[in-house]
């Protein structure tokens, strides 16, 4: 969780279903195809396989203090419900174009290079959803079935074919990184909101 001084963009009592601000739900798939964080754009997607969605994800972006002129940043957290998180530290370099954060459900079906190749060759809008679908296609292929048949399997039973999968892709714009201020609204989003069997309260 962010410190108490974090100011999320959503107002308490505001319905997330009234707009696309907090993502969309399509059956067991939750996604936000495109959004902005302090240093660029992001795409986020979650697919449920278990009876209860075990993956928890969150993206927070905006001022890190009560002062608009203070530091700004983006926090991404993904927890797959199976144990402690894996922490990897990577210093961001000007040649870095994006970061892929994902639960183990993605990496069970795609290699690092396969994921990078997909992000490098496809449009940004919906890229997290595209990575989830690529993993599902691989899961179906491993079980010698069609992707369209896998999509028809209900949660719980679906766990025998793949795990819950969560993906957040952050695109980095170094022109924004080097700015000393942020003009956009703060972003606070939890992946999977509205998917059956998922409650973040």
Beta-bridge mates of residue 44: 32, 168
DSSP category for residue 41: E
Q: Which of 73, 78, 97, 63 is nearest to 88 (CA)?
A: 78
How many whole angstroms separate alpha carbon 167 and alpha carbon 44?
6
Over its length of 201 residues, how does the chain's per-residue pLDDT go in tens digits?
333 333 333 323 333 332 346 788 888 899 999 999 988 999 999 999 888 888 888 898 888 877 767 778 888 988 887 766 667 777 888 889 999 999 999 999 999 999 999 999 999 999 999 999 999 999 999 999 999 999 899 888 998 889 999 999 999 988 877 765 656 667 787 887 666 554 444
How many whole angstroms separate alpha carbon 16 and alpha carbon 113?
35
How many whole angstroms separate alpha carbon 75 and alpha carbon 10?
16
CA dihedral sign, ordered 184, 92, 90, 167: positive
Query: Global pTM?
Result: 0.80
Chain center to CA of 198: 15
Pairing of strands 56-63, 40-47: unpaired
């Amino acid at each position: 969780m962010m410190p108490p001084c974090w100011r999320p963009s959503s107002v308490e009592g505001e319905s997330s279903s009234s707009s696309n601000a907090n993502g969309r739900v399509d059956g067991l798939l939750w996604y936000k195809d495109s959004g902005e964080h302090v240093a660029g754009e992001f795409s986020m997607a979650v697919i449920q396989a278990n009876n209860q969605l075990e993956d928890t994800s969150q993206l927070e972006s905006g001022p890190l203090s009560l002062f608009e002129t203070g530091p700004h940043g983006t926090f991404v957290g993904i927890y797959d419900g199976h144990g402690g998180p894996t922490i990897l530290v990577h210093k961001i370099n000007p040649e870095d174009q994006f970061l892929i954060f994902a639960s183990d459900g993605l990496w069970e079906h795609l290699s690092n290079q396969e994921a990078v190749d997909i992000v490098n060759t496809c449009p940004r809008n919906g890229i997290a959803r595209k990575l989830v679908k690529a993993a599902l296609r691989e899961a179906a292929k491993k079980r010698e079935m069609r992707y369209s048949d896998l999509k028809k399997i209900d949660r719980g039973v679906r766990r025998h074919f793949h795990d819950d999968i969560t993906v957040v892709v952050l695109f980095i714009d170094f022109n924004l990184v080097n700015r000393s201020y942020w003009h956009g609204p703060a972003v606070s989003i939890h992946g999977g909101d509205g998917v059956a069997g998922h409650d973040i309260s």
